[in-house]
Amino acid sequence: MHDGIELRRQCIDTLSEPLLKASEMMVACLQKGGKVLACGNGGSAADAQHFAAELVNRFEMNRRGLAAVAMTHDASVITSIANDFSFDRIFSRQVEALGRPEDLLLAISTSGNSENVVAAAKAAAAIGMQTIALTGKDGGLLGQVETVQVLLNIDHPSTPRIQEMHITCLHILCSLVDETMFGDDA
């Protein structure tokens, strides 16, 4: 537990600036009619869905729904891509089908090394979408993708601790987006 508390302290210093930049990018995307496409595996798939639900429905205030889609929950889409092509393409193929240049990819991987998430970031770049990446450890391959505009990396070896910080980051992002877009109504 102390480990997690210390990590939160460190992250306040290292992540404040990239979180602000990520929120500015997300607000700009949503204000010009774009949408957020989110992806990740395992616990990070749950985080992608959790975040999309907060944008589409509500976070802490009632406001209009904001456009977000988690690419993690349609079993037919995912199994057909994995079966006909490969598991590495389950997100990139959805990005190719659903993504537009004004959209934004939220790519989540605690290792940074999930091939399907890395491929999604590359597919997003190919159609001119911006990417915010949440990673851990040394950032992995996703941390090295040059077209990732904002990298929120949790420099810690433990996947659960990284996930705990990721969901904190995602809640802060929701808060910043709501404050910026609907501040007076908050």
Cα separation, 41 vs 31, whole angstroms: 28
- Residue 159 interacts, among ligand I22, Zn ion, none and using kind-specific CB cut-offs from 5 to 8 Å, with ligand I22
Judged by CB under 5 A, the residue of 25, 43, 58, 155 near Zn ion is 43
Kindly tell me which of 31 and 144 has the beta carbon lying closer to ligand I22: 144
Give 67-124 as a DSSP string: -EEETT--HHHHHHHHHHT-GGGTTHHHHHHH--TT-EEEEE-SSS--HHHHHHHHHH
Backbone angles phi, psi at 10, to 5 degrees: -60, -40
Judged by CB under 6 A, the residue of 92, 114, 131, 153 near ligand I22 is 114
**In three state form, how does the secondary structure of 47-63 look?**
HHHHHHHHHHCCCCCCC
The pattern of x and - marking residues 61 through 100 that bind ligand I22 according to CB under 6 A reads ----------------------------------------
Kindly tell me which of 34 and 112 has the beta carbon lying closer to ligand I22: 112
| Interface residue list for ligand I22 (CB under 6 A) | 41-44, 109-111, 114, 117, 159-160, 163
| Interface residue list for Zn ion (CB under 5 A) | 43
